[in-house]
Amino acid sequence: MTGITRIPVVIVGAGHSGLAVSRVLSEQSIEHVVLERGEVANTWKTERWDSLRLLTPNWLTRLPGLEYDGEDPDGFMAVDELVAFLERYASHVEAPVRTGVTVTSVSRVEDEYLVETDAGRWQAPAVVLASGPFNRAHVPAVAAELPARLDQLTPVDYKRPDQLKPGRVLVVGASATGLQLADELLRSGREVTVAVGEHVRMPRTYRGRDIMYWLDELGRHDERYDEVDDLVRARHVPSPQLVGTPDRVDLDLNALTDRGAELVGRLGAVNGTTAAFAGSLRNVCNLADLKLKRLLNTIDQQGGFDAGPRPEPTRVSDDPRVLIDLAGYDTVLWATGFRADYTWLDVDVLDRKGEIRHAGGVVKDAPGLYRVGLNFLRRRKSSFIHGAEDDARDLVEHLAARLTGSPV
């Protein structure tokens, strides 16, 4: 074949995971290229709302060869600060990034992979997919039943409150994203209803320390994918109800109701202008409160402490509404998660739900193909920036053995 650049490794994506893999490959003198459709940290630059901050404190912001060295280790990076950190990192590790290159196809060619783009073709025995887990906002099928007059937005579309119509907003989803956006809308003076499904409640701080400190102390972040009983379940646990703010405040459902939010159960169906919500709101909240209590008890027991202060149980109306006339609303904001985009992946490695089949990032039935950056890829911390280094080192070790013909 002509017009093809041959290279040992192609990395697709120049976010923090792709850059971490690039650094580890460079440490082992393995030639590679990083292909990025936009610029370094493109998703953070173009597909996040203006006020977003990291959920993890600055002291946890580290990648192989560089860590946070600023004056606010207990603070939380805003989006522009994180972008600057990742741009600095790419320059610091001299990552061979080709920006503005869109991958249109990755396919199998004999024992290697052909990576086709709008700027040329590469062939490599190993390809690392670092294209991120948040390419497409997930919108449930019930969205198609909503009245046409309602504006529907996702966190990819949303930037700030003033882009919305002035009326009421229904926020669907109560994990980190849903709570943060609902809180911002309430502070802007909007009337907000939050449809609450399964969620993970956590305090921002406990016993004077950030909750991330305690999760590290418990070893939760380092728990491996081959150590859990139900990996599928672990990989789909909602993101914790946390927000990173200078005053390190808690953000939970009680904080929202204090600001005037109405809580309802999970959105189940729409008939005309009437939305039907599950009647299990209290049970869902009780379960989240129980899990929170267990976590704090574990912290106390491991530290040898007497029982510490416990957050107030989630306050739920005695009779939460299960039917709402949407005629009184202008906007529905879907905070119902994200999905990865594999429309350009022409290798049979997806399951029936469109998720990639892998064992700790080693893609099944596709020797030489790897995935990084997914939730609980190899460890619970895999989805966090500081989790990228250990995952990258593990996968590059496997990749390097394959390139040399060593047992893997």
357-386 pLDDT, tens digit per residue, is: 999 999 999 999 999 999 999 999 999 999
State the burial class of residue 147 (Cβ atoms within 10 Å of its Cβ: 0-12, 13-18, 19+).
middle
**Mean pLDDT confidence for 71-87:** 96
Structural domains for the chain: 4-135+340-404 (3.50.50.60), 136-334 (3.50.50.60)
Which phi and psi angles does 35 have, rounded to 5°? Answer: -105, 125
What does pTM read for this prediction? 0.95
Over the stretch 48-70, which tens digit does the pLDDT of each residue have? 899 999 999 999 999 999 999 99
pLDDT band, residue 1 (cuts 50/70/90) = very low
What six digits make up the tokens of 119?
């700027």
Which residues face 331 on adjacent strands? 151, 169
What six digits make up the tokens of 80?
């522009």
- Please compute Rg for the chain using Cα positions: 22
Q: Which pLDDT belongs to residue 337? A: 92
- Nearby residues of 398 by Cβ (< 8 Å), 6 or more positions away: 362, 370, 408
Which phi and psi angles does 50 have, rounded to 5°? Answer: -60, -40
SS3 270: strand
Over the stretch 251-273, which tens digit does the pLDDT of each residue have? 999 999 999 999 999 999 999 99
pLDDT band, residue 2 (cuts 50/70/90) = low
Q: Which pLDDT belongs to residue 356? A: 96
Does residue 56 contact residue 212 with C-beta atoms inside 8 Å?
yes
